[in-house]
Structure 1
Amino acid sequence: AASTPTVRDHTHILPAHISSQWRDLALHKPNQDAFVCQPMFHNQDSFFGVFDGHGTTGELCAQYARDVVPALLQQHLAKNVNTTQALIRAHVDANTMMHSAPFDDSMSGTTAISVLFQTNEIHISNVGDSRAIVAQEITDGAASPQLVAKALSIDQTPFRKDERDRVKKTGARIMTVDQLEGYEPIHENWGLTLGDEIDESGDPPRIWHPHGDYPGTAFTRSLGDHVSEELGVFAEPEVITKTLNAHDKFIVIASDGVFEFLTSQAVVNIVKVYKDPLDACLAVVEESYNRWLQFEVRTDDITCIVLHVEPSIAAAAASKQPPVKASKLHGRNSIIAGHDVLVAMQDSLRPVRGIGVDINKSWRSRDTIIGGYDTTARMSMASEDSLLSSSCPQGDTASLLLSPPSDYDVKQHTVPKSAADFARLERMVQHNFLFSHLTADKVPALHDVLSVMQRQVVADGEVVIHQHDDGDQFFLVDAGRFDVRVRAAPVEPEAAPTTDDSLDAAYGPVVHTYVASEGSHPTFGELALMYSKPRAATVLATAGGGTLWTIDRSAFRSILVRRPLRNVVQRLRNLPLLRPLTVAQLNLLAEQMKEVTLEAVMASGQFYLVVQGSVTIAPPLPADPTTIHAHDSFGDFILSDTPSRTPYRAVAAEDTECLCISRDAFEATVGNLSAVVEKNNARRARKSATSRAKQAAPLNGVVVLAHTVSQALASLSQIDQVRVGPTIWQDLVATCRLVQFGGRWLTLRSISKQTVVQSHLKHQLLGEQDMYVALGRDQAGVAPLYGVAQTAHDLHALFDVAYVGVLEELVAFPLSSEAAIQYYAAQLVVAVHLSKYIGASRTFTICGNPEYLAPEQINGQGASSVIDTYVEGTECGGQHRVGQTLATDYWSLGILLYEMLVGTTPFQHLHHDELAMFNGIVSFSPDSLEFPPTSSPALQALIKGLLDPKPASRLGAADCFKKSADECVVPQHAFFQGLQWDQLNDTNAPLLAEASAKFDRLVAAPTSQALDLGVPYTGDAKWMQEF
């Protein structure tokens, strides 16, 4: 409901509130949330609060606190008790009184979050894990003001180390349910230092009695919960006092049902769209429901209060606050009391939940595989034909950014619409993150997306989507009402159900309803446009049916990826002159070709590929003219070592689109054609020899991949000849162990075949081997792979070095010095440039931590990035495409450098929420980065340059056109000044001492292990022949 505006001496308040009951498989549960909105409180004060009950009598506890806390507060204020003390006493006294109330609060209680307005000050009281935030307007130089969420409370949960330590002093145990039941080892890796966040996956740390498995509360403060009080769970609130300023635009008070899957900033981004706070409340509650339905089979009670605040002109002038600028403690200068709490705990909020690809594994793990399919396999030359035509393997239900179909034609799929329809659709999608990046400079793409959207009229009772079906469509509700139903074990009904009872039996109870109005058009199915994901619920039309607008993943991604390259690569590969090039090299070449529209052209030293239309080639008489149609080429002789000088004239019979590239631009992209062919032939020879060796190798036989064979290992032919020692590191996929052969220490990485199959790692492992074969030399910074072997159950990789570890195993970020950052950054720059030597190019599958994804990998704009280049002495300068090659890798490098410097990535706080993270990446601005005051300007500039969200202007975007590293922008950056690149291979690593010390500790504690990991494999063994 919305309340009338309240005008106080110093503040104008426009409040609105909504409380919505949870839904789960147990129907008729009462709403355990309660709230209070008293614009006319004590004297000229106003009071607003949310109470989130829990336990069997949680609704009674919440309602009791709602009535008693404000009443006690008024009594204390009337006695002129200090405001902070009055708030504390009101909560503590209400807790005491609740113990004597006519209901049982022994294992039930409520959290409480409230805001008391007094003139131009607000006092925030927090007990538990509900939350209050303020939206503050930030200006940063010439940039337009941004609304940024700032915490007014800090969740009081065991995620906070200070709260954890406090309750442990009473004898409480802190464990997750999995730890309590023995499924997970005992640890406290929820924040050894404040700010650490892990993937809680719905199993947060809880408080348990030292001698019993109760009470299991996931918060450290509450009202009620009598049994928990002896474990330190008390009702004393943390109180924050703040002065309202002109940059404070609105306040949100909400229960944890809102913040379970939404970050504070996500809530602000929703509210800021609406002028009416009631509409804003509706939108927040609706989005919260959507998130719950994505990740759970039920929803929590959800309560939200939105307060639009406007300090009076006199008060704002009296405060004389300068314009707010972005900073880590922005706005805290207006905190009068409680500043130390917010500063100390600002990064230790309870993590926002979200299910990643593997719910048993944090996205923060470097070994998490999103989509499971190879980034490194793009370097393979053995399976080039399959790269041209293959799709992702069966069972890939999480592949991000799948390659769009090459033959998608917008014109053929356009659905006629009026200008009014287009205008209406633009308004309907403007606040959805998947469309928000399509700004003014991308109007054609937005127009194309809207032009292929289809109107779907749905009858009353018609099912739009079925729970657990794979989804690839996005839905926009134009009109009507659509119920969302969730069933624990969905079954397909034999006949279409009609009554509420039969609907409940077929599809489960209603957990949410999408209702369209003039100012609100709900959406569902956003994630289906990004990757295949089973539907979490059934959606069906009610109340007479409705109207939807839909678009499928194939259309959406095909439009965003401006020019699919697959056909271009296929045509280039059909040219005998270019046949020796790898698919990766052809892909890179296709990206650098310039788009031109031909009318007539004389022989000009350029190679042309006709994309659309036709061209007539008129050679000197008496030869007959030749017609070149779409997907054919002409001028290819200029790429040969002895280009023909025969003149010709090409005339276009119609509007003809071509792609062209000059010889110099060609060589700047892939090198001299003859040299490239020779190098590729040598690689193919190595690849062929390796393949024959694998086919001939017996079980347990070692296949040598090393460029040069060490004499000390010449007699190593069977992997079981090594003596297995201690484990270096281990994760959910691989185990790395020290092994010994002939007195020489080596590193053995072992992965069970069962894991390879279940995690879809086949192509990734093959790609790794192909990379080493393609490299054909030892390279500093790249662990020297000696050979591979397979046993009955495992796949092994043997590295000819005593210690191969993971950087995070040796040191915690941030690194201790910029010298260390410089060293590892230089190694990574060298590794990135090796992709040019190997011939890697773009891929449409993603492997690794999604916090490192570049914006163009999410919004599909990678292939439409354009940079202006000019190659001296050519006529083919102009606009060239930059794909997901160096520019994208440079973005990931920038993220890693920032993490090395600061300790976290810019998006770590969003890693539990897929949509929020993707939205944060595509809307990222490098000006929002916060750097330690001791960091050098050169390093800051390098990171900001690498994290330019536009690939075309990203630092080093044109490096892929340079013939040598000396010409590249990034290696010549001021941060690398003084670095001897030619001596990098001989420079000791900064963490060499730490690695040596760990190696010595491992060797000093001798252990002997079995070679195999002990995970049996009974599946198909034919595919193993490639290993």
Structure 2
Amino acid sequence: MGGCVSTSSQGTRSSNSNREAVTPPCLGIQFSGRKRTKKTFSDHAYTLQNLHTLPNRIFTNGKSQTSCIFTQQGRKGINQDAMLVWEDFMSDDAIFCGVFDGHGPHGHLVARKVRDALPMKLLSFLYSYQGSSKTCFKGNLKKSDCGDTEKDGLDEEKLNLSWRDAFLKSYKAMDKELRSHPNLDCFCSGSTAVTLVKQGSNLFMGYIGDSRAILGSRDSSDSMVAIQLTVDLKPDLPREAERIKRCKGRVFALHDEPEVSRVWLPFDDAPGLAMARAFGDFCLKEYGVISIPEFSHRILTDRDQFIVLASDGVWDVLSNEEVVEIVSSAPTRASAARTVVDSAAREWKLKYPTSKMDDCAVVCLFLDGKMDSESDYEEQGFSSATLQSNHSGNAVESDDGQKSEPSLQRNFTVRSSDESDAHGRLPVEIEGNEETVAAEENWLGLEGVTRVNSLVQLPRFSEERP
């Protein structure tokens, strides 16, 4: 397996008692510590293998100091969604969030591999920029903080270019590692990625595929509105379709799903990939499918309340506005992600009763950095084991899938929305005729939604070794 952090970069592990040391902040990167130390490759391998022990990194159902995350398996087989919140990512006020939706026979392994390795690669490139850049920036720098508007604009441009370069290089390195991975077949398997780093008032985002991020914000009348932060990179987008066709790939929809454009090989009606960019999927990389991310930078304001990242299993049945309403009206902040998944499961039954529900994964990041009190968790039926992140009970999955994390176990996240509340699920109340009314409404689906597998010519998952 290739190294996830270059041997010249600095370590990324941190704890309350011992933090790796680095230099003063550059490019908005602020590290704490006493002394710069040089890590060996073996040190970095140890860090990657023990990511699950970090107290400020959560990847299974639960909550952190600023976020809550939840995933539920659909009806197509093993849960191929993965998610991550990593607080203190590179400084005390930096948070990394990501949602990864796998597809193909080994999609669940690809999604988990990207979840673990991609943030490390991003850190590696940020470390290298921090050591070579001549210009320093603070994470919450605003134009109004400096009298020299021209210089401030130049600094912001350099900041954008450096972060963009870091995202592009880390995504490229991630795809390169997947191609050469000795134990993971990514020829017809892959994963989407929607990732962000929030530091102070700066929000940096990189994404590929059709997972999506939205922002819940208040308008001038103090009403909650939804702002879409990413674009669903599907083959029916003109720029994506043009690139694929230039590379001899084909883009068309099947007769029984005319709203779902797919990517096909030039010489065969396979594999039928429902996205234009993804990690892996090397059978299509010569025919227009790429892993180059779209990048965006946004300055957050006091009106911005929360960010929601989710896989397409949520967006296929819920609009941006509906998700913002669900999160803002959730009983507690710790239950917000779970409430969104429950709502999506209910809508799948109402809108697509003959289709198999897709996997759903949701990350809710609250921008004021506040969560609920412990008493709120108990009132909503959350156990302390569920809410506390990264206990020793979390299993570490290997690249060949011999071990799987708790979020992939049937007794943890696989329960459907119609199972009893005795399992600790939040109750979903449907008033008298609400279900009938919803079923009779003339509902229009989102453009380019997919209600079937991302790859139509392959099995959903392969048999794993017991």
TM-score relative to the length of structure 1 = 0.29
Match of 1:309 in 2: 367
Post-superposition offset of 1:526: 5.0
- The SS at the match of 1:530 is helix
Q: Deviations over 1:809-830 (max 9, x none)?
A: xxxxxxxxxxxxxxxxxxxxxx
Contact map agreement 2:118 2:171 (CA 8 A) in 1: yes
Contact map agreement 1:299 1:511 (CA 8 A) in 2: no
Match of 1:512 in 2: 417
Match of 1:773 in 2: none
Match of 1:70 in 2: 119
Post-superposition offset of 1:515: 4.9
* 1:194-205 mapped onto 2 (5 Å cutoff): 203-205=259-261
> Which amino acid letter does the alignment assign opposite residue 281 of structure 2?
D
Match of 1:285 in 2: 341
Post-superposition offset of 1:159: 2.6
Match of 2:186 in 1: 105
Partner of residue 258 from structure 1, selected from 289, 292, 314: 314
> Which amino acid letter does the alignment assign opposite residue 200 of structure 2?
T
Partner of residue 198 from structure 2, selected from 84, 98, 117: 117
- The SS at the match of 2:67 is strand
> Which amino acid letter does the alignment assign opposite residue 437 of structure 2?
M
Q: Is residue 72 of structure 2 the alignment partner of residue 20 of structure 1?
A: yes
Post-superposition offset of 1:77: 0.6
Contact map agreement 1:2 1:277 (CA 8 A) in 2: no
Match of 2:98 in 1: 49
- The SS at the match of 2:129 is coil
Write the distance in 2 (CA, Å) between the matches of 1:107 and 1:4: 35
Write the distance in 2 (CA, Å) between the matches of 1:171 and 1:249: 44
Post-superposition offset of 1:521: 3.7
Contact map agreement 1:514 1:522 (CA 8 A) in 2: no
Match of 1:220 in 2: 276
Q: Deviations over 1:698-732 (max 9, x none)?
A: xxxxxxxxxxxxxxxxxxxxxxxxxxxxxxxxxxx
Contact map agreement 2:89 2:96 (CA 8 A) in 1: yes
> Which amino acid letter does the alignment assign opposite residue 267 of structure 2?
H
Write the distance in 1 (CA, Å) between the matches of 2:435 and 2:359: 26
Post-superposition offset of 1:531: 7.9
Q: Is residue 214 of structure 2 the alignment partner of residue 133 of structure 1?
A: yes
- The SS at the match of 1:79 is helix
Contact map agreement 1:246 1:311 (CA 8 A) in 2: no
Post-superposition offset of 1:3: 3.2
* 1:843-862 mapped onto 2 (5 Å cutoff): none
Partner of residue 92 from structure 1, selected from 161, 169, 172: 172
Match of 2:225 in 1: 148
Q: Deviations over 1:485-541 (max 9, x none)?
A: xxxxxxxxxxxxxxxxxxxxxxxx9743355599954134755443887xxxxxxxx
Write the distance in 1 (CA, Å) between the matches of 2:338 and 2:207: 24
- The SS at the match of 1:133 is strand
Write the distance in 1 (CA, Å) between the matches of 2:303 and 2:97: 21
Partner of residue 523 from structure 1, selected from 426, 429, 432: 429
Q: Is residue 380 of structure 2 the alignment partner of residue 300 of structure 1?
A: no
Aligned CA distance change for structure 1 residues 276 and 233 (closer, same or farther; 3 Å) = same
* 1:991-1010 mapped onto 2 (5 Å cutoff): none
Q: Is residue 305 of structure 2 the alignment partner of residue 244 of structure 1?
A: no
Write the distance in 2 (CA, Å) between the matches of 1:112 and 1:519: 27
Contact map agreement 1:120 1:311 (CA 8 A) in 2: no
- The SS at the match of 2:321 is helix
Partner of residue 36 from structure 1, selected from 66, 72, 84: 84
Write the distance in 1 (CA, Å) between the matches of 2:63 and 2:435: 38
- The SS at the match of 1:72 is helix
Write the distance in 2 (CA, Å) between the matches of 1:134 and 1:150: 5
Post-superposition offset of 1:47: 0.5
Aligned CA distance change for structure 1 residues 520 and 68 (closer, same or farther; 3 Å) = closer
Partner of residue 166 from structure 1, selected from 243, 249, 271: 243
Aligned CA distance change for structure 1 residues 171 and 531 (closer, same or farther; 3 Å) = closer
- The SS at the match of 1:206 is strand
Aligned CA distance change for structure 1 residues 57 and 526 (closer, same or farther; 3 Å) = farther
Q: Is residue 453 of structure 2 the alignment partner of residue 911 of structure 1?
A: no
Post-superposition offset of 1:4: 3.7
Match of 1:873 in 2: none
Contact map agreement 1:244 1:311 (CA 8 A) in 2: no
Write the distance in 1 (CA, Å) between the matches of 2:242 and 2:192: 20
Q: Deviations over 1:234-255 (max 9, x none)?
A: 1111011111100100000111
Match of 2:107 in 1: 58
Write the distance in 1 (CA, Å) between the matches of 2:296 and 2:420: 38
Contact map agreement 1:207 1:216 (CA 8 A) in 2: yes
Q: Deviations over 1:290-342 (max 9, x none)?
A: 12223044211110000111289xxxxxxxxxxxxxxxxxxxxxxxxxxxxxx
- The SS at the match of 2:187 is coil
Contact map agreement 1:245 1:311 (CA 8 A) in 2: no
Write the distance in 2 (CA, Å) between the matches of 1:151 and 1:173: 29
Contact map agreement 1:137 1:147 (CA 8 A) in 2: yes
Post-superposition offset of 1:136: 0.9
Q: Is residue 80 of structure 2 the alignment partner of residue 80 of structure 1?
A: no
Post-superposition offset of 1:49: 0.4
Aligned CA distance change for structure 1 residues 153 and 531 (closer, same or farther; 3 Å) = closer
Contact map agreement 2:122 2:167 (CA 8 A) in 1: yes
Post-superposition offset of 1:152: 0.8
- The SS at the match of 2:216 is strand
Q: Deviations over 1:207-249 (max 9, x none)?
A: 1112111121110000000011111111111011111100100
Give aligned pairs, total. Answer: 308
Contact map agreement 2:316 2:445 (CA 8 A) in 1: no
Q: Give the unaligned 5+ runs of structure 1.
A: 6-13, 184-199, 313-478, 480-508, 534-849, 852-909, 914-1027
Q: Deviations over 1:263-313 (max 9, x none)?
A: 11110010000263321111100011112223044211110000111289x
- The SS at the match of 1:88 is helix
- The SS at the match of 1:241 is strand
Write the distance in 2 (CA, Å) between the matches of 1:34 and 1:521: 24
- The SS at the match of 2:234 is coil
Contact map agreement 1:135 1:248 (CA 8 A) in 2: yes
Write the distance in 2 (CA, Å) between the matches of 1:160 and 1:297: 25
- The SS at the match of 1:240 is strand
Match of 2:400 in 1: none
Q: Is residue 63 of structure 2 the alignment partner of residue 3 of structure 1?
A: yes
TM-score relative to the length of structure 2 = 0.61
Match of 2:144 in 1: none
Mean alpha-carbon deviation: is it higher for 243-252 or for 166-175? 166-175
Write the distance in 2 (CA, Å) between the matches of 1:43 and 1:92: 24
Partner of residue 291 from structure 2, selected from 214, 232, 235: 235
Aligned CA distance change for structure 1 residues 265 and 285 (closer, same or farther; 3 Å) = same
> Which amino acid letter does the alignment assign opposite residue 304 of structure 1?
V
> Which amino acid letter does the alignment assign opposite residue 90 of structure 1?
S
> Which amino acid letter does the alignment assign opposite residue 168 of structure 2?
I
Aligned CA distance change for structure 1 residues 227 and 115 (closer, same or farther; 3 Å) = same
Contact map agreement 2:72 2:415 (CA 8 A) in 1: no
Please give the root-mean-square deviation of Cα atoms over the aligned residues, in Å: 2.8
> Which amino acid letter does the alignment assign opposite residue 911 of structure 1?
L
Aligned CA distance change for structure 1 residues 78 and 215 (closer, same or farther; 3 Å) = same
> Which amino acid letter does the alignment assign opposite residue 106 of structure 2?
T
Q: Deviations over 1:523-573 (max 9, x none)?
A: 34755443887xxxxxxxxxxxxxxxxxxxxxxxxxxxxxxxxxxxxxxxx
Contact map agreement 1:515 1:522 (CA 8 A) in 2: no
Write the distance in 2 (CA, Å) between the matches of 1:529 and 1:66: 40
Post-superposition offset of 1:161: 1.4
